[in-house]
């Protein structure tokens, strides 16, 4: 990213924060839905318990590796693009998770989702650092923590309702659709 002017108008700072908050909130919807639906998938006989744990492990390893890689990529490429790619890839992975017919197919998809979601946090921090004054940067970075709590809570609540109404596959379809929608809003707004 070339040297950009800082955003100083309070309304513009607020809009940037809300946009970044929505992205990271959405990440938790697309991240926690597997854990929320896991009991139903195991109970239905679709997913063996040992595979469920392995899928979660692969997700977190992929997410951790991705955090390191994407932190460095965020220094070389436009962070807005990395966020868009992460949102769209996560949306696609979630949609695919809802269509798999064999549980072994979930592992590479959920690993890809972990990597995709790791493309969000480092670029968000870079955007704050590049575009905001020190006081706004600190306030926005601290307030981003509310997106984690809200996203986790909403994910579990949504998944419980979705599973009771439409089955466990719907948790992935709706999360995937949501990620694509927020990705489109991100692209339009940036």
> How far apart, in whole angstroms, are the C-alpha atoms of residue 74 and residue 93?
22
* Stated length of the chain: 190
115 Cβ neighbours under 8 A, 6+ residues apart: 62, 63, 65, 66, 89
d(Cα 152, Cα 30) in Å, to the nearest integer?
10
d(CA 8, CA 40): 48
| Residues sharing a CB contact under 8 Å with residue 81, sequence separation 6 or more, in sequence order | none
2: pLDDT strictly greater than 60: no
Q: pLDDT tens digit string along 101-128?
A: 999 999 999 999 999 999 999 999 999 9
Give dist(CA 8, CA 26) in Å, integer. 26
Residue matched to tokens 């639906």: 37
Q: What does the mean pLDDT of the chain come to?
A: 95
Structure tokens at 180: 């694509």
Is pTM beyond 0.85? Reply is yes
């Amino acid at each position: 990213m070339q040297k950009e002017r800082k955003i100083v108008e309070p309304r513009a700072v607020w809009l940037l924060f809300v946009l970044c908050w929505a992205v990271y909130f959405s990440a938790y919807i697309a991240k926690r839905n597997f854990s929320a639906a896991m009991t139903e998938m195991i109970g239905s006989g679709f997913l063996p318990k040992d595979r469920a744990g392995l899928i979660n492990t692969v997700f977190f390893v992929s997410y951790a590796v991705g955090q390191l890689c994407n932190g460095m990529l965020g220094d070389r490429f436009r962070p807005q693009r990395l966020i868009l790619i992460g949102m769209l890839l996560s949306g696609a992975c979630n949609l695919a998770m809802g269509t798999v017919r064999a549980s072994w197919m979930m592992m590479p998809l959920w690993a890809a989702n972990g990597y995709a979601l790791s493309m969000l946090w480092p670029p968000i921090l870079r955007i704050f650092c590049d575009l905001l004054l020190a006081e706004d940067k600190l306030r926005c970075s601290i307030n981003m923590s509310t997106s984690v709590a809200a996203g986790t809570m909403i994910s579990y609540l949504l998944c419980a309702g979705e599973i009771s109404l439409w089955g466990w596959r719907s948790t992935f379809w709706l999360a995937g659709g949501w990620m694509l929608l927020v990705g489109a809003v991100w692209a339009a707004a940036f």
